[in-house]
Amino acid sequence: MPVDIDIAKVAKLARIALTDDELDQYGHQLEDILEHAERVQALPTEGIEPTSHPMPMVNGFRRDEVGECLDPDSFLSQAPDTRDGQFRVPRILGE
């Protein structure tokens, strides 16, 4: 499979604002890395289960009990912009 990346689309999906030069540069680097990574595609993996977790464990539940919450000041004081005990962001939709 030839590596052909729509790097502008990827950057938008990842929410990273890049200049055209930067897009170009990252695009080439990704293509190099992926060419190397393509070797994994040559491996016969028919019928092989994917491993997404190293240990064969299940569930890892906790009981439905209420614990302590943070004092809002401890995190709101670190936020870039707040108002009335809430986080504030610019308008969500464009003009």
Partner 1 sequence: MTDLADLTIARAASGLRTGEFTAADLLEAVMRRATMTEAQLHAYLTLDHEGAATAAEEADRAFAAGQDHGLLQGIPIALKDNMCTRGVETTASSKILSGWVPPYDATAVARLRAAGAVITGKTNMDEFAMGSSTENSAFGETRNPWDTDRVPGGSSGGSAVAVAAGSAFGAFGSDTGGSIRQPAALTGVVGMKPTYGLVSRYGLIAFASSLDQIGPFARTVEDVVLLLEAVAGFDALDSTSIDEPTPGFGDALRTGVEGVRVGVVTELMGEGIDPEVRAAVQATVDRLADAGAAVGEVSLPSSEHALSAYYLIAPAECSSNLARFDGVRYGHRSSIEGTTEDMMSHSRAEGFGPEVIRRILLGTYALSAGYYDAFYGQAQKVRTLVRRDFEEAYADYDVLVSPTSPTTAFPVGERAQDPLAMYLSDVCTIPSNLSGDPSISVPVGVDADGLPVGFQIMAPALGEQVLFQVAAEVERLVDFQDRARLATSDEVKP
Partner 2 sequence: MKPGWEAVIGVETHVELSTRSKMFCRCPVDVDAAPNTACCPVCLALPGALPVPNEQAIEDIVKIGLALDCAINERSLFYRKNYFYPDLPKNYQISQYTFPVCEHGSIEIEAEDGPVTVGITRVHMEEDTGKSTHVGDGGGRIHDADHTLLDFNRAGVPLVEIVTEPDLRTPEQARAYGSELQRIVLALGVSDAKLEAGSMRFDVNVSVRRTGDPEFGTRTETKNVNSLRSLQRVVAFEIDRQVELIEAGGSVTQETRHWNEETAQTAAMRSKEESEDYRYFQDPDLLPLEVSEPWRDAILASLPELPADRRARYVEAGADAAAAELLADSRGLSSRFEEAVAAGANARTVAIWLTGDVVAHLRRIDGDIDATVLSGDHLAELSAMVEAGELSSSAAKDVLTATIDGEGSPRDIAEAKDLMQVSDVGEIEVAVDAVLAANADAVAKIADGDMKPMGFLIGQVMRETGGKADPKVVQQLVRAKTQG
Tell me which of partner 2, partner 1, none is bound by residue 24, counting a contact when its beta carbon lies within the kind-specific cut-off of 5 to 8 angstroms.
none
Query: Given the structure tokens 């401890």, which residue do they identify?
Result: 74
Q: How far apart are the first and last CA of the chain?
A: 41
Instruction: Output the smallest distance, CB 24 to partner 2, in A.
Output: 21
Element (H, E) at 83: strand 82-83
Of the candidates 50, 45, 5, 47, the residue with the CA atom closest to the CA atom of residue 25: 5
Within 10 angstroms of residue 14's Cβ, the number of other Cβ atoms is 8
Name the segment binding partner 2 (CB under 8 A); options: 20-28, 32-40, 41-49, 82-90: 82-90
Query: Contact with partner 2 (CB under 8 A): which of 1, 61, 77, 80?
Result: 61
Instruction: Output the smallest distance, CB 20 to partner 2, in A.
Output: 18
Of the candidates 68, 87, 64, the residue with the CA atom closest to the CA atom of residue 76: 87
Tell me which of partner 1, partner 2, none is bound by residue 8, counting a contact when its beta carbon lies within the kind-specific cut-off of 5 to 8 angstroms.
none
Q: Which residues bind partner 2 (CB under 8 A)?
A: 9, 12-13, 15, 52-53, 57-70, 72, 75-76, 83-93
